[in-house]
Structure 1
Amino acid sequence: MTICPIIRFPDQRLRQVAEPVTVFDHTLSALAQDILESMRAAPGIGMTAPHIGIARRVVVLELPDAAQPQTYVNPEILWMSEDKVRQEEGSVSMPGVTEQIERAARVRVAYHDLDGVRHEEEAEGLRAACHQHEIDQLNGLFWLQRLSSLRRNRLIARYEKMQRFRP
Structure 2
Amino acid sequence: MSKKTPAAAGRRGERRGTARPIRLLGDPVLRTGCDPVRTFDAALERLIDDMFITMYEEDGAGVAANQVGVGLRAFVYDCKDDRGRRNVGHVVNPVLVAADGELLVEPEGCLSVPGMNFPTPRYAHAVVEGVDVKGKPVRVEGTGYFARCLQHECGHLNGDVYIDVLSGDARREAMRAIRALNR
Q: TM-score, normalised by structure 2?
A: 0.81
Residue equivalent to 1:3: 19
Residue equivalent to 2:152: 133
Pairing 1:40–2:56 present: yes
How far apart are 1:31 and its partner, in Å?
0.1
- Kindly provide the amino acid, as one letter, of the partner of residue 20 in structure 2: C
Residue equivalent to 1:13: 29
- Counterpart of 2:93 (choices 65, 74, 77) is 74
Contact kept? 2:155, 2:162, Cα under 8 Å? yes
Pairing 1:102–2:118 present: no
Contact kept? 2:91, 2:138, Cα under 8 Å? no
Pair 120,34 (structure 1): closer, same or farther in 2 beyond 3 Å: same
Of 149-158 and 131-140, deviating more is: 149-158
Question: How many residues in Structure 1 have an aligned counterpart in Structure 2?
Answer: 164
How far apart are 1:26 and its partner, in Å?
1.2
Which structure 1 segments of 5+ residues have no match? none
Write 1 or 2 for the structure with the bigger share of strand. 2
- Kindly provide the amino acid, as one letter, of the partner of residue 109 in structure 2: G
Which structure 2 segments of 5+ residues have no match? 1-16
Pair 15,80 (structure 1): closer, same or farther in 2 beyond 3 Å: same
Taking the aligned partners of 1:36 and 1:127, their CA distance within structure 2 comes to 16
- Counterpart of 1:56 (choices 72, 91, 94) is 72
Residue equivalent to 2:9: none
Percent identity of equivalent pairs = 29
